Structure 1
Amino acid sequence: MSSKPKVTIHDIAEKLNITASTVSRALNDHPRISEATKKTVLKAAKSLNYQPNNIAAALRNGKSYIIGIIIPTVDRAFFASVIRGVEEVANKLNYKVIISQSYDNYEKEVQTVDALLSARVDGIIASIGKNTENFDHYKRTQEKGIPLVLFDRTTDELEVSQVMIDDYLGAYKVVEHLIKQGARRIAHFTSPKKVSVFKERLRGYVDALRDYEIPFDEALVIKSNLQLEDGRASMEQLLALSNPPDAVFSASDYGAMGAMQVVKEKGLRVPQDVALAGFGNEPFTSFSEPGLTTVDQFSLTMGRITAELFFEHFKAGTDKKLVPQKTVLKPELVVRGSSLKADALKKDEAIKSN
């Protein structure tokens, strides 16, 4: 069974007995076309189920009014919120976005960049996948003069503008908080991948221990994909040590939640026996019992700033004098019950004394 041929502006012109150029101008809201004609053309286009050819339009006008966004996965509140921030800015400027997921797969990310370039997008906003170590696909974007802005997961190997949170400061604040709550054997869940965010969070963890004169123990640093099941496996490994930790800082909220499940299943208390903290401020962190201490990354703000930076570059065109900008947002420590070790122990003592 053959499919119906795609409706063109010539079909609309034939239906209305006007020229194809008049139809084209009407569809593009040309000022020399009357409002009555525009309404008639739009009505006919709708009745014929006309779909504009964005690639052809981009070739004619030099603009597609479409931005490509590449994220590792859409099922994270953080990335969903960033996209919302980007769209808020883009839609006000009559731009649409195409959202693609790399699933942290390098080959998929390369294919996505090529597909977006073939679709003639006006630019790309991306967060690099965990497994990406070669950036030639992004360099091709730059070589074609297509604006590229990175957010959250970035790299200094590309001379492009970046928007990120201060991951080092966020991690430092978490570990400092745990130390002030009396924790002395603090474990850390990190990623084995060479992703900037995880490297910076590990660096913040190490420096906080050093500044408070707490020995660094390699056995307390567990590398994984930082998903819920990874947090569970990592916590099992830590509790099997002859000297298990009294606190855990996970570079993701998901890893921390997996750890919390295991701690409770073992009959231990959070935070008295093991204090816990994550990173990201995912929505579920406020619903757990106790609530999970974490770091707010201000994802909506990050999305808005990323989009504003993108359009600033887009307006500047391919001006070689344009200097890449690095915008670093200040994180906020969100303290909840999972890390309040000292307070919980004091409360237990008060109950015992009564």
Structure 2
Amino acid sequence: MKNNPATIKDIARKLNLSVTTISKALRGMPDISVPTRQLIVETARQMDYQPNPIAQSLVKNQTHNIGVIIPSFTIPFYASAISGIQQTAAEAGYNIMVCQSNESVATEITYTQLLLNNRVDGLIVSLSRETTSFDHFAPLIRRSIPLVFFNRVSEEMPVSKVVVDDYQGAYRAVSYLIERGCRRIAHIAGPENLLLSQQRLKGYVDAMREAGLSVPDEYIRHGDLTIANGAFITSELLTDVNPPDAVFAVCDSAAFGALQAAKSRELNIPSDLALVGFTDEPVAAIVEPALTTVAQPIFDIGQVAAKLFLDQIRLGESYTPTTHVLETRLVVRQSTP
């Protein structure tokens, strides 16, 4: 037969003390003497007493659970970012509950409501590539529920955000290609609605124009951030009358697709086609040739997102949303001259 877990009332009955005294001792309240507290804690241990987290959350109006929504578990970026979130949250006594939207705004809406129904203390979110409306986050703002966006963010929402300097990272990458002699540089861009896609595209265009290079419309192709789409776009680019001599991709996955397409045509990389990605996924260093890419401090992004969340918990309604912009760095490998 399954034994019922010990309760505070059971401990009080065993020690012939009041429930209030037991509760205060287990919460470390200073008005309980040290000998009495030690006796109560040891008795609780012997009776295998475990606090009821649901009851505690009802009293404190906090569950110490943070909901995290990411676009996909298959994107390596988010494994590292979640590790950063989890480490910082755990140090503060919080747990995280992670859901993936699978790049679907409908699923993102569903999990936003599901996590709130499960009484998480707030959300840390990276938007799906489909998300263009943010109405499903409005109730959090109205109710002062902590909300932090990271990586894929919206400028429309008055919430804290953690991003990298996408513009400068792209500008530096394209400038490097130009310095190495590339002139016909194409860009595999991301979904037009994503802010990071917009900023990386702007960095590309500005670097090209400031170098006096033309940017033909056909050299800018918007994709869906996947390997397959990167390969498809690159295959199309290489069939142009005036094919590019370099490709700057919005992310490493698109760059890996470009690499596949170039290899299928038996092109030499980088002499026939130079490639630069953005993220510095672990695979970037081991593909052949190794990929030059813009590295993001992914673990730090997760940590900063969690810190901003905890700041909002601590400060409550006096908290002012802020945007943290972290720096990138260009990692030069064998895919560029």
| Fold-level similarity (TM above 0.5) | yes
Alignment of 1:112-191 (within 5 A): 112-191=111-190
Instruction: Specify the code of the residue in structure 1 equivalent to 2:52.
Output: P
C-alpha change, 1:20 and 1:71, in structure 2 (3 Å) is farther
C-alpha change, 1:6 and 1:317, in structure 2 (3 Å) is farther
After TM superposition, what 4+ stretches of structure 1 lie above 6 angstroms from structure 2? 18-23
Is 2:100 the partner of 1:97?
A: no
Quote the residue 1:52 is aligned against.
52
C-alpha change, 1:9 and 1:122, in structure 2 (3 Å) is farther
Q: 2 CA distance for matches of 1:59 and 1:208?
A: 55
Quote the residue 1:34 is aligned against.
37
Deviations 1:179-205 (A, max 9, x none): 111111111111234011111111111
Q: 2 CA distance for matches of 1:312 and 1:327?
A: 13
Quote the residue 2:68 is aligned against.
69
Instruction: Specify the code of the residue in structure 2 equivalent to 1:208.
Output: A
- 1:323 counterpart (304, 308, 320): 320
C-alpha change, 1:42 and 1:257, in structure 2 (3 Å) is same
Counterpart of 2:279 in 1: which secondary structure?
Answer: coil
Quote the residue 2:282 is aligned against.
283
Q: 1 CA distance for matches of 2:46 and 2:132?
A: 50
Q: CA deviation at 1:9?
A: 5.6
Q: CA deviation at 1:273?
A: 0.1
Q: Percent identity of the aligned residues?
A: 35
Unmatched 5+ residue regions in structure 1?
341-354
Native 8 Å contact 2:161 2:322 kept in 1: yes
Q: 1 CA distance for matches of 2:4 and 2:103?
A: 38
Deviations 1:28-59 (A, max 9, x none): 5666463343344345447xxx68343x4222
Unmatched 5+ residue regions in structure 2?
none
Deviations 1:52-71 (A, max 9, x none): 343x4222112211111111
Quote the residue 1:347 is aligned against.
none
Instruction: Specify the code of the residue in structure 2 equivalent to 1:70.
Output: I
Alignment of 1:172-251 (within 5 A): 172-251=171-250
Q: 2 CA distance for matches of 1:62 and 1:223?
A: 45
Q: 2 CA distance for matches of 1:244 and 1:43?
A: 75
Counterpart of 1:173 in 2: which secondary structure?
Answer: helix
Q: 1 CA distance for matches of 2:78 and 2:284?
A: 16
Quote the residue 1:348 is aligned against.
none
Native 8 Å contact 1:293 1:336 kept in 2: yes
Q: 2 CA distance for matches of 1:9 and 1:198?
A: 55
Q: 1 CA distance for matches of 2:204 and 2:3?
A: 58
Quote the residue 2:83 is aligned against.
84
Scaled by the length of structure 2, what TM-score is found? Answer: 0.90
Native 8 Å contact 2:162 2:305 kept in 1: yes
Q: CA deviation at 1:312?
A: 1.7
Q: CA deviation at 1:6?
A: 11
